A and B are shown apart, each in its own frame.
Chain A
């Protein structure tokens, strides 16, 4: 406390005041001599361990004295006070020792701290220096690396190689003696040379540009000149037309056709090209022409941007109108259907001329949305044809080309993708529209190079020339044979309807001279009627009586015997023979199910038809078959064994020469006619 602190200071003051006059001198003396009392110096002299011992001892003494005082105070007495006083003085002395020791401890502590502080400061200073130096080192290193990495722009330039440089550069730039030794100078020299070269090239470039400008201008002038030439040439061509016609060289016409052909859709184009090529190369009787409106065809290919703008405008307009008055659903559907079945405005006309001056006119159309080709056919003859009633279907445009190839009936669309399109607009089948649009036969698709694989729908229009070319010849030949056979049938039917079987002279050898049975009736019947007949079940079950065939009924008579023959005429006549089924009404009804001989007669005309084909192109097959039926009926009736129980002569006396009447387990009649001996035998 304050007394303690004053006691702390006091010794200094007292001691110094003890000799105040001498004090200044002492002070200076002691400063000079070193006797000045300083506790700091004392601290250095004393041993801290001993001080610690002293401290412990003093504490002990104090404790002991306090204990004694306590005793004395508790005992009481007069001596006690003096002893207590003694002890009190001793304790005071001890206290003072303790205080001194405390001071000493503080001083020591302070000294220690000061020293530490100093040392620390030094260390900090060094540390800072180190940091600074390190930073500097780093900075310098960075600078060094930067300098080392520095790439001068001059290194990016591809300089010419050294040899070339020394060869090409003029000596005032290359300065060989200087540069060889010194790489720096060498590089400088090379750069100089580079600059020189570049300047020269820039010069050249400018010259060339100006040249080009000049030439372009010249070209423009010449082009204008040429374009002015075109109309003059056209007028010359026009003028030459009469000359062309006079010389029978219709180049202009062909040229025009090719022009129009460019606007044809790809399948029609393929067809046109292949047909023209075939006509020119192989078959002079074939002629090809393009019909239709070219402008409409061009209109189909408007650029998409314009049409989109137009569409959006028209859509907006349409919306307004439709809000007021919507067309009925049926009309909408009808429109959609019409849209789906739309034809391309251009069509290809092919005319096939046959030997007898009859012409087959084929018009091919392309249905754009359905991506198929259709054909319409017409047959015109040199002379007017009087159509017999039964021949109505023979040359009708609907059926004349049916089944040109087996199974190709042309009533169904060949493109499988069309089914999905049809479902959207409610068309069941193309059959309903076929009369109007034409028939989509498979061979027509092939001629147009359109190939439809069976399973997948075709999305892109791939018109293949090779497909068309390979089919062209066969199809054209088939078409001609078809027309000619139909025309031949036409004529024959006219005769058949009058009851005369027209057998040509070169087929007379197939039959005996005398044929008594006569053809009485020849009519056409419909498919359903044929199926209803009771004796045609076998043919129907064998799948030979489809709805693409033509059906006829013939009646042959002799006396009381009536032979009914139901005829299936396949559109592929005459390569596919007509099929006969017989029913004889004479002494009961005999058909192939109850009379083996009727079966044999059918076999004679159906299975053995090859003998009856006659000379190629075998148009005589049907008439020969009918004549043979007459002969067979004669044989049948004349060789019938006479029933002894019935009275009267035989209705039909035997006139035919036969070796044997019956043969084999089925007791066949002799149906085979042998020429020229003229007798009948068995097969």
Chain B
């Protein structure tokens, strides 16, 4: 496995500090640019690094290609989630969401185009924003996080249109059900709630921990990850990773994974999941583990599939988590190389 090489340079104070920072870095979020050639990664120090996927994947890639093209301080706190529209990169962390222009982002000294803070109830502590979701049909952005609400923001005007309440503890993740536009949210309280965007009401609630097949009380009840494929939903976290049929709210398949999963996504006919442990798990819909592909971080927090049509040569899976490295998988079966902060 590729690991950081021994430093032969005598280490002064700054070098030691930088090395320690890199050792304790966690990358929380990733986002692919609309052209598909760049990858943005946000870490726990509030920095966003832009990597050039096309340079790193090209045949003349050198060690410098695996370093970020530009790194800038985006937020004061950690950057927990990021999404990309066709022109902007939206990043959210401690209570704020900021927008950056992809066209400008590669230049040094890039400033945010706008920043917004949803109306919070409490002022004692600034709640974090854990998940961002784009709803393309309405051109709106849904934010969810520490204040247990889902806020919907209109991207054109920047106003917060709705606040959906219902969770009793903070929200970890969001997913969009395209057909009837519904948003699923999973939170620390152990429930997955479906919200109808038109009526702004909770349509369905699934309390995962109450189902014996999947609950794992020693891990807790929190739902860390959600993914949906219209009729089906897969979620995991404290309880085991489970595939649910939404209309009947029944768990159909339980994936035998002991470690809590932090990110899950549907891909073609597979389900990819990652969490504690350094492997990305490839599951078949039947519940069988097809492959476990090791990465370089001891725990993973986010997976990103670059499916932008504009750059088919950059179609890769990238994973990031408890390290300063982003693993790149050109072929889902093995790790090709790692980009690093």
Contacts and interface: CB of A to CB of B under 8 A. Distances in A.
Interface of A: 403, 405-408, 538-539, 541-544, 570, 572, 575-577, 579, 592-594, 596, 599, 602-603, 606-607, 641, 643-646, 659-660, 662-667, 681, 683
Secondary structure call for the B interface: loop
Given A603-B24, A663-B146, A665-B28, A542 B7 contact: yes
A662 B130 contact: no
Interface in B106-130: 124-125, 128, 130
Contacts of A645: 217-218
B211 to A, nearest CB: 15
B170 A665 contact: no
Interface residues of B, number: 44
Contacts of B172: 665
B80 A543 contact: no
Given A407-B11, A542-B4, A596-B322, A607 B24 contact: yes
Task: Tell which of A594, A602, A646 has the most Cβ of chain B within 10 Å.
Answer: A594
Interface stretch (B15-23, B151-159, B160-168, B246-254): B15-23
Contact of B20 (A579, A593, A594, A599): A579
Interface string B191-223: 000000000000000000000000001101010
A575 B19 CA distance: 15
B31 interface: no
A602 B9 CA distance: 24
B10 interface: yes
Contact of B78 (A405, A406, A577, A664): A664
B7 A660 contact: no
Q: Which 10 A-B pairs have the closest CB atoms?
A: A407-B10, A543-B7, A603-B24, A406-B10, A593-B298, A645-B217, A406-B12, A543-B6, A606-B20, A542-B19
B306 interface: no
Interface of B: 3-4, 6-13, 15-17, 19-24, 26, 28, 77-78, 80, 124-125, 128, 130, 146, 170, 172-173, 188, 217-218, 220, 222, 224, 262, 276, 298-299, 301, 322
A572 B217 contact: no
A659 B123 CA distance: 12
Contact of B125 (A577, A646, A681): A681
Given A542-B4, A663-B128, A681-B125, 14 more contacts: A406-B15, A542-B22, A543-B6, A543-B19, A576-B13, A594-B298, A596-B26, A596-B322, A607-B20, A607-B21, A641-B220, A660-B125, A660-B170, A664-B80
Given A603-B24, A662-B170, A667 B222 contact: yes
A665 B188 contact: no
A216 to B, nearest CB: 66
B12 A606 contact: no
B217 A644 contact: yes
Given A544-B11, A664-B128, A594 B16 contact: no
A576 B16 CA distance: 7
A622 B15 CA distance: 20
9 contacts: A408-B10, A541-B4, A543-B19, A544-B7, A579-B20, A599-B322, A607-B21, A607-B24, A664-B28
A571 to B, nearest CB: 11
Contacts of A572: 12-13
Contacts of B6: 541, 543
A667 B17 CA distance: 25
A599 B322 CA distance: 9
B208 to A, nearest CB: 15
B80 A665 contact: yes
Contact of B218 (A541, A577, A643): A643
